[in-house]
Amino acid sequence: MTDQIRPRPGIMDIALYEGGAAHVAGITDAVKLSSNENPFGPSEKAKEAYLRAVHQLHRYPSTDHARLRQAIGDTHGLDPAQIICGVGSDEIIGLLCHAYAGPGDEVVFTEHGFLMYRIYTQATGATPVSVKERERTTDVDAILAACGPAARLVFLANPNNPTGTMIGLAEIERLAKGLPGGAILVLDGAYAEYVEAYDGGAELATRLPNVFMTRTFSKIYGLGGLRIGWGYGPKAIIDVLNRIRGPFNLSTAQMEAAEAAVRDRDHVDRCRAENTRMRAWLAEALAEKGVPSDTSTANFILARFADEAEAVACDAFLQSQGLIVRRVAGYGLPNCLRITVGDEASCRRIAHAIGQFKAQR
């Protein structure tokens, strides 16, 4: 009987998403640098707001996220009516795919882009289209060439994960204006806050009818454990997404913590400044040891090794030292390791360990 119960065609072709490892067997005090988490954690104000929410656990949360949307709008100078909130920016990406793509449609993304773009595309029955990058950086002309009349969504992470590279707003606008009429450009700004004076594409999403922006509280805000994200764009797109969004997709505790976090600009500024300082230090330290990386604009570095064998061997050595980083072969980068920029002690420790590894080669 059970062999007659089958998923829709294509579902079993989806490769399971694997998050960054969090533990090393036999080591109790491992340093986790595999998931691009903020080493300084959330704002104290966000923690306090989360604790206060315990008194409302018996109440259903707001269905319209009005206070959180207002806080986001106040902070970024955006119209709250054009904001939607979700369980991480992942949920917003999923809603976009379910609302705008299906069998016969194409969803376009770069070859080293976030793995969930492909997964959500396959889940809707649409066709994923992977576009080559130029030295691990988005190639706008290649994307435009790949967008035929069936293109419905184009996902662009800027800065990109796991490469850490990004392109300028003028190139993004050129891309948006060159897309087929029925396609939406989705700017994934998960790491936008790490770039000084960068709006993540908000101005373009305000001005252009085919641009949508997603953001998250999981990175610089240090709230990855709560899973909160948001999207911003044309009111017509927001109206479509709200029709398929679950009515209680965010809890009161999530919303209270996120509202406090987004209003605490001092914490964000401190985290950005420290990340910028240690990111530059770590990139230089690794380069001196013969491990290059592209200029990163996020909170991680993509360390490049001679080949896959060396990357795997380095990863194993780091684990033996209680240091967890991310292998990114699944992103088409088998000779690389993605290393989160941690606090100063973590950065110095991993640079020293990689130096030890290289000295043994």
Taking only the tens of pLDDT, the chain with its 361 residues reads: 467 878 878 888 877 777 766 667 667 778 999 999 999 999 999 999 999 999 999 999 999 999 999 999 999 999 999 999 999 999 999 999 999 999 999 999 999 999 999 999 999 999 999 999 999 999 999 999 999 999 999 999 999 999 999 999 999 999 999 999 999 999 999 999 999 999 999 999 999 999 999 999 999 999 999 999 999 999 999 999 999 999 999 999 999 999 999 999 999 999 999 999 999 999 999 999 999 999 999 999 999 999 999 999 999 999 999 999 999 999 999 999 999 999 999 999 999 999 999 999 7
Separation of alpha carbons 63 and 151, rounded Å: 32
Secondary structure class of 233 (helix, strand, coil):
coil
CA 241 vs CA 17, 48, 89, 97, 216: distances in Å = 24, 31, 13, 10, 17
Q: How many CB atoms lie within 10 A of CB 170?
A: 9
pLDDT attached to residue 12: 81
Task: Kindly give the pairing relationship between strand 184-188 and strand 211-216.
Answer: parallel
Q: Which residues contact 11 (CB under 8 A, 6 or more apart)?
A: 122, 123
Angle between helices 265-288 and 344-360 in degrees, nearest 10: 20
Radius of gyration over every alpha carbon of the chain, rounded to an integer in angstroms? 21
Taking alpha carbons only, the member of 172, 15, 174, 183 closest to residue 106 is 183
Structure tokens at 44: 């104290």
Spatial contact of 256 and 52, defined as CB atoms under 8 Å apart: yes
Strand partners, 229: 86, 216
**At 84, which helix (H) or strand (E)?**
strand 83-86
CA 236 vs CA 29, 31, 43, 62, 82: distances in Å = 49, 45, 34, 22, 9
